[in-house]
Amino acid sequence: MIFENLQAVEYLLSLAFIIQLAWISWIDIKSRTIPNISIVLLLLTGVLQLIAGAASGQNIWLSLLGDMIGIPFIPSWLKGQIGAGDIKLLMVCGFYLGLLDGMRMLVLILMISLALALF
């Protein structure tokens, strides 16, 4: 019974995560900025996901390591090639998704970016 309730909570958190990403995308397209409040809301969703995952027996260390995904992009931010909001968004998405899924997300983002740059 508890596991079924946790599964429902995880589905709702995933839905909230997707809706928040859509909202952030819309704001970023319109204003070329990512508000800090949106990052905080995503982070809170990630913390709730971490708690639900820990309660269902998932390894929380991969989630905690997932936020390191944005670190390699800090030199690009220092050179002005990428915004700080983009790095924070990568880190929060990595935290929510975990290290392995976060790396998959990063590869997908890089492939899409390369395709858009070439065409």
Per DSSP, the residues of 44-79 read: HHHHHHHHHHHHTT--HHHHHHHGGGGGGGHHHHHT
Average model confidence (pLDDT) across the chain: 91
Pairwise CA distance, residues 41 & 86, whole Å? 15
pLDDT 10s digits, 61-86: 888 898 899 899 999 999 999 999 99
d(CA 40, CA 96): 12
Band of residue 2 on the pLDDT scale cut at 50, 70, 90: low
- Report pTM: 0.86
Q: Where are the domains of the chain?
A: 2-118
Tokens of 106: 């990063």
d(CA 97, CA 109): 14
